[in-house]
Amino acid sequence: MSNDAATHKLWGGRFAGGPSPLLDAINRSIGTDFRLWPHDIRLSRAWALALAKAGVFTMDEADALRSGLDRVAARIADGAQPIATDEDIHTMIDRLLHEEAGTVASKLHTGRSRNDQVATASRLWTMDACRKLDVAIRELQQALLTQAEQIADAILPAYTHLQRAQPVSGAHWLLAHFWPLERDRARLANALRGTSTLPLGSGAIAGSAFPVPRDVLRDELDFLAISPNSIDATGDRDFVAETMFVCTMVAVHCSRIAEDMIIYGSSEFGFIKFGDGFSTGSSMMPQKRNPDVFELARGGGARVLGDLVSLLGTIKGLPSGYSKDLQDDKRAMFNAVDLLHLVLPSMAGAIGELRFNRERMRGAVSSAMMATDLADYLVKKGATFREAHGAVGSLVRQAEEAGIEMTELPAAAFSTAHALFGDDARDALGAEASLAARNIAGGTGPEAVRVQIAQAHAALAAHAL
């Protein structure tokens, strides 16, 4: 058996001597692509059926191969490991299939290449990864939505340029992170559709010379379409780039959520308190509660972005057809997806543990944040917004110079700033009134937020990928 293993490579007949150990070292990818094994088994079972339908061998032989592949799958699931001569998972499965099915295993590779085999296994893995990522994103969305409902009536500042801007409801702030993730889910669905094109049957580059029914392969493997061009099919990694772009956007959005939580959880803000389950302490300072989950999520965004750039840099200079550079596509993809499967559930858990300090949030809302509402008051009285902006700006300056809230300015200051200011002008400086005035669709008004929460529930109730 050792001699068979030593000569089991799927290539090499035209070489007089064996490869250099250095070539074996750089060429060996089974440490990365081992996880493709369930998909390689599945596509090989489908290929056996297609070859039988093409008349390449009998249905009995196809059944023997499919049964043998099932036994190979059971062995790998039970812990079978590669040996030194298994350069990739496809070689390992071929070796084990010979052990399980005998010489008929040598017929399975008829009409196919590792080029279309790898492309098919990679697409199957990516399709599965898209569906699993969709579930993980939904769990993070659910955590945000649950907390949003709990603080729907809380008020806190919204920020532009990290400066206090206008008051918003707590739910409106949290749901501002829900909707980017919903867009990510839409992008993920598009990536899944783009991935679901069958390359098997394309051979190395020119297509299979045997009349394999590709529609049977498509249906057996649950693809939506069949690749129209064999050259493109074996060298195409657009599906990897598209999926990794979605991964990058998810990681970026997680990073932005994390940044808000880190800032708002600082002593200077004090809007939120981190739970014990997703916080760490300091090895020196006993009082510390560190938001490590959010910091690691923020850092992870850079790693996923690096994986995307690495992939794009690889494929941008390749000629048509397959090149071995593409072996690295899986490293980039696996790294990105693996990281998200750590970040997304840990973010969901950490957000679920958050406690919100409503008093601190409300206390950060100053009357100056309703300056726009005061300008709107004048506009409703007949002033132009330009003159209203100038009049309110002068009141803001007076309050700042005096070190007081705008509500503490004397009535004379208002009437001097603009003749249209009445005795009810100060009413426009209330945070609750500011929110109530913004019941426009998508706004932070109480009714608008109730509608938005219902929309978020509807989005999560829609079918997963």
User: Which of 173, 159, 171, 157 is CA-nearest to residue 362?
Assistant: 157
- Indicate the residue type of 255: S
Q: What residues does 204 pair with on adjacent strands?
A: none
- Taking a C-beta distance cutoff of 8 angstroms, is the pair 108, 65 a contact? yes
DSSP 119-167: HHHHHHHHHHHHHHHHHHHHHHHHHHHHHHHHTTT-EEEEEETTEEEEE
- Long-range CB pairs of 412-419 (<8 Å, 24+ gap) are 417/391, 417/392, 418/378, 418/383, 418/387, 418/388, 418/391
Q: What's the DSSP call for residue 280?
A: B
239, 207 contact by CB (below 8 A): no
In terms of Cβ atoms closer than 10 Å to its own Cβ (0-12, 13-18, 19+), residue 1 is: exposed
Q: Computed from CA positions of residues 416, 418, 423, 429, in that sequence, does the dihedral angle turn out positive or negative?
A: negative
The rounded distance, in Å, linking the Cα atoms of 392 and 406 is: 10
d(CA 361, CA 267): 12
Among residues 9, 5, 1, which one has the least CA distance to residue 27?
9
- CA 144 – CA 125 distance, rounded (Å): 29
Give the separation between CA 7 and CA 15, rounded to whole angstroms: 12
Nearest to 91 by CA among 66, 60, 133, 121: 121
Residue 127 · residue 196 · CB < 8 Å: yes
Contact indicator for 126, 132 with CB cutoff of 8 Å: no
Q: Are 269 and 361 in contact (CB under 8 A)?
A: no
Which residues are catalytically annotated?
Answer: 161, 282
